[in-house]
Structure 1
C-alpha cells in the first residue's frame, strides 16, 4: 500500500510539473488566441472575412483617378467623387469607379469599420486616393437628439483614422436649426460648406476656416432656414438654395420638415443665392414662388447656366449670368407634374434633352409615387410614369431621394421606401416614353448610385430589414428601428451580383459612394461610423 500511494503521489506531481511546463510554453499563444477571439466578438461574417482594413485594389487607384480627371466637372475637384453626388450635374453616375466582383460567378463581400467614431455622419467624398472627407453632426438620432455639429472631418480612406475635424456649430449653444448639409470640393481642393444661414470656406488640407459669411433667409425667418443645397456653377460661382422649416416647428434635422408638414404646418418660400467661391461675398439672390425642400441642379443649356428646381407644387428653372452677376427666373419654362394627393418633387435629374423629377418627396398616403420627364426645350412636353402602379389602401408612399439617371444607357431609377420597391426604367430619348425594365424589392430611402463603364454598369441599392416586421414603415423609419444592407445589382436587369451583411441603418437620404480601388462607403448616423465594403469573386474552397 505505501508503495502504491507513493507512486500515485509521484504521478500527480509529474502531471502538475508537466502542466506547468506546457503553460509556460504555450501561455503567450493561448493569451493571444483568447484576445483575438475577444476582438472578433460582434463582427459580422463580412468583417470576419476581411479581418482588417480594406485598401481595395491599389493597382486601380491611378487608373480611376486619371479616368475621373478626364470627365467634365467644371468647378469641382477632378476626382472620383468630388461632389455630393458624383459630379456637377449630381448625376449619381460614377463611370470611373470599378466593381471588383464577378458579373457572372459568385461573389464575396468584405467589410471593415472605421477605426474612429463619426457621430451623425451623412456624406463622404474623396479628393486624392488616400483622402476621405466626411460631414457629420447634423443628423439627430434617438441616442442624440441634438448632436454637436455640423463638422467636417478628413480621414484615412482605408482605416477611417481621423486626421482632423473642424466643428462649425453646436445647436445646443447657438439654438440654430441644423439640417443635413452637402459636401463638395472646389477645383483648388478647398471646401465650401453651408448650414442654417451660415457659410464657411475651409482649407482642404488643414481644415482651417478661411472665410465666413451669413446668408440671406428670404421670406422665412433666419431660424427656419437651412442652406443644405450648395452646388458649383461651371464658372465657379456657388449657387445655394435653402430648405425652410415651417414657422413654429421646433424639430431638429431635415426630417423635421416632413414631421411638421404632417401636422399641417406649411414652410415659407425658398431663396436662391449666388456666392463668390473665394470671398464668400453675396453676389445676388432670387426669391422662389414656393418652398423647395430638395436640391437643385445646374447644367449648361443652350449656352446659359441653367438651374432646375423642384418645388412644392411645380418645377421651374432659373438662370445665372456670370457677366452681369444676376439670377433670374425663366417665366417661360415651368410645369405642374404633381397630381392630386402627391407630395413635393425631389431634386432634378438631367438625362439628355430631358429633366426628370421624382414625386412624393415628402410622402403621401393617398397617391402613388411617379416619375416625370420634362423636355428642356419645351416644358409642355411632359411624360408621366407610375412605376409601381396605384397606391393600395393602407400603403404609404415616400420617395425622398432624387431619381437616378444614366443618360448613356437611357435608364432612370425610382425608389419608394414606403412600398419597398425600386424600379429600373427604360426611356426613349426622343419622346420621353418610359417603361419598366425591372422592379426589385428593396426598401431604401437613399440615392441609387451607378458605377462602372457604360457596358458594365452596376447599381448600388441599400435594403432595410425591420426589427419588428409588422411595424408600419413610417414609424420604423422615424425611429431607425431596422438594419440595412448594401446590394450590388446589374444596372440593366436588376440581377443581384452581391449583397452585404446587415448593419446599423444607413443615414436617411444619403448614399453609398464609391471609393478608389473598388471600395464602397456605408455611412451610418445611428452607428456613428462608416463601413468600408468591397466585393471580390468568391474563392473556391481548398
Structure 2
C-alpha cells in the first residue's frame, strides 16, 4: 500500500459464508457481517452471521495462517461491504515512521491492497495522533473519524465525497490536542461522537498522552456531538459533565434515543430528542465506583436488552493497590429503573502473576439471547462468562486466558463461539511480541482451537501483517475461509483495540 516499515494486521479465520442481514436488522449500519467496529450501536461484539466451521469435537482442529505481502501501520479496525470488499482504518497511534490516519481497501481473498487513502500527514500538521474509526452506514459509504475531522469516502476508489469537516473542541483546548475517539449512530443514521484531549504542551502520541504527559487529567470536559450523515454538519453539541475516556454507546429504548458514557465514578445517560442533547437526570447519573476502592474507571458501556453492563479497571491497578477493593467489578444497571443494579467481582479469587493486580482495557461483550456477559481481566489472566438473572450476576464458567483485547462472539446461538487472544505467560502485558488466537465454545468455555504463536502486531518499525488463517478439522478437510480477521495490537497499555490482537471478527470481523 505504498507505506513501508509499518506494523500491521493479522487475519485469522474459521468460517464464513457471507450472509447479509435483513433490512433494518441492524439499523443504521450496512447489512454486512461487520459494518461497525462492535457490530451494533449497543456494542455487543456479537457477530451471529460469522460461523465457526471447525469441529466441536475435542482435539479436532488445527489452525493455519497466511500472511499478506502488504504492510499497514498500526491498523485499528476493519469493516466489510461484502465478501470481496474489506476496508482497514489505521495509522492513528502516532508510532515512529507513521504520518497519520489512512483507510485502505483490501481484497479479502488475496490480501492485496486495492486502494489506499492517506487522509492526513500529522507530521506536517503537528497534531496528536489518536485512533478514530471507520464505519459503513446503510447508504454504503465509508464514514471515517480521525483527530478532530470527519470525512465520507466512496468505497469504490476511496475518494472523499464529503468533508473533511473540522469538529469543535473545548474553548480552552487546542485543536492539535483534540481527538474524537470513535463514533456511534442512532437508528436514523445520525452520527454521535465525543472528544478526548491531550494535555496542552505535551507532545506524547497515541494513548501515551494519557499515561506519560505530566498532568494527563488537566484537560477540559468532553464535548458530545451529533452529526448529519448526509452533509457531515454538526447538528448539536453539549459539554459532558466531565472528561470521558471510553467510547460513546447509543440505543433506542422505549421509543427514545439515548447515549451512555462512563465517567470516572458515574454512568451518564444523555437523551437525543428533536435534534438536541440533554442530560437525562431522570435516570442518573449512577455512581458505579468508590474512588477510594483502589479500582480505576470503566471503558465503554454495553447494551444488553433492558440493561447496560460494563467492567471497570480500564487502566491498570498496580500492586500495592491504592484501596481495599481493587479487583475488577462487572456491573449491570437497568435502563428503566436505576434502583435495579447488580455488581460482582468475578475474578477476585484468582491471583495475578505480575505486579498488575487487575487490568480490563477492553469492554465486555454480550450475548443478549442468553443474557450473558463475557468479561476479561489481564491481571490474573482470566476470561469468564456471567449470566444475568433475577437474582443477579451468576458465574457460568472461567478460563485461564490472558488478553487485553475485545472478545468476539460468533455464530448462531446453538454453535456460538468466543474468540480472543492469549498472551504467553513468559511475556509481559503491553510489551509482548507474540500471542495466540483461541476459539472457545461459548456455552462451556471449552477450547476448540488455538493458533501457534503469532507475532503481535507491535508498534514502531516492526512489520505487522494482514493475514488470514483457516481452521482445519477432521481428515485434513479445510474449514471455510474467513474474509479477514483484523489484527491490531498496541505497544502501550490501555489502548483500546476493537477486536484486538490477532482478532477481529471472522468474516466480519474492539475505551
Give the Å deviation of 1:116.
Answer: 1.2
Q: CA offset at residue 139 of structure 1?
A: 2.4
Matched, 1:461 2:414: no
Question: Deviation string for 1:110-145 (max 9, x for gaps)?
Answer: 2111231111112111111111100111124xxx43
Bigger proportion of residues as helix: 1
Q: 2:222 aligns with which of 250, 255, 270?
A: 270
Give yes or no for the alignment of 1:489 onto 2:443.
no
1:21 alignment partner in structure 2: none
Specify which of 321, 325, 343 is matched with residue 275 of structure 2.
325
What is the match of residue 87 of structure 1? 40
CA change 1:293–1:189 in 2 (3 A) is: same
Flag the 1:416–1:525 CA change in 2: closer, same or farther, 3 A.
closer
Deviation string for 1:62-108 (max 9, x for gaps)? xx423x23562112111000111112322100111100101124112
More strand by share: 2
Question: Are 1:182 and 2:133 an aligned pair?
Answer: yes
Name 1:435's counterpart in structure 2. Answer: 394
Name stretches of at least 5 consecutive residues in structure 1 with no aligned partner: 1-46, 48-52, 536-542
Instruction: Name the TM-score, length of structure 1 as normaliser.
Output: 0.79
Structure 2, gaps ≥5 residues long: 1-9, 460-466, 471-479, 492-500, 507-511
Distance in 2, Cα, partners of 1:75 & 1:513: 29
- 1:506–1:522 Cα contact (<8 Å) kept: no
Closer, same or farther in 2 for the Cα pair 1:329/1:374, shift >3 Å? Answer: same
Match of 1:167 in 2: 118
Matching of residue 299 in structure 1 with residue 251 in structure 2: yes
Deviation of 1:268 (Å): 2.5
Return the alpha-carbon distance in structure 2 between the equivalents of residues 506 and 107 of structure 1: 24
Tell me by how many angstroms 1:526 deviates.
7.1
How far apart are 1:223 and its partner, in Å? 2.5
**Which runs of structure 2 are paired with 1:97-496 in the superposition (5 Å)?**
97-105=50-58, 106-140=60-94, 144-145=95-96, 147-212=98-163, 213-218=165-170, 220-260=173-213, 265-321=217-273, 324-333=274-283, 334-339=285-290, 340-365=293-318, 366=321, 367-389=326-348, 394-428=355-389, 430-431=390-391, 433-465=392-424, 469=426, 473=428, 476-477=429-430, 480-496=431-447
Alignment match, 2:28: 75
| Alpha-carbon shift at residue 313 of structure 1 (Å) | 1.9
Residue 533 of structure 1: CA displacement? 10
Please report how far the alpha carbon of residue 251 of structure 1 lies from its aligned counterpart in structure 2 after TM superposition.
1.2
2:487 corresponds to which residue? 523
Structure 2 CA distance, aligned partners of 1:186 and 1:518?
Answer: 22
**RMSD, aligned α-carbons:** 2.9
Please give the secondary structure, in 1, of the residue aligned with 2:369: helix
Whole-Å separation in 2 of the counterparts to 1:404 and 1:533:
13
CA contact (8 A) 1:191 1:202 kept: yes
Between stretches 121-130 and 144-153, larger displacement belongs to 144-153
Distance (Å, rounded) in 2 between the aligned partners of 1:238 and 1:215: 12
Structure ID, larger Rg: 1
Distance change >3 Å, CA 95–CA 534, structure 1 → 2: closer
1:33 equivalent in structure 2: none
Contact kept, 8 Å, 1:270 with 1:288, in 2: the verdict is: yes
1:41 maps to none
1:402 CA displacement? 0.8
Equivalent of 2:453, from 474, 479, 502? 502
> Which one has more relative contact order, counting CA pairs under 8 Å at least 6 apart?
2
Find the aligned partners of 2:262 and 2:469 in 1 and give their Cα distance. 27
Residues 10-66 of structure 1: per-residue CA shift (max 9 Å, x gap)? xxxxxxxxxxxxxxxxxxxxxxxxxxxxxxxxxxxxx9xxxxx99976xx53xx423
* Residues in 1 aligned to 2:238 and 2:377: alpha-carbon distance in whole angstroms: 32
Report what 2:462 is aligned to.
Answer: none
Q: 1:178 to 1:92 in 2, by over 3 A?
A: same
Does the residue aligned with 1:217 lie in a helix, a strand or coil? Answer: coil
- For 2:454 and 2:12, how far apart are their aligned partners in 1? 17
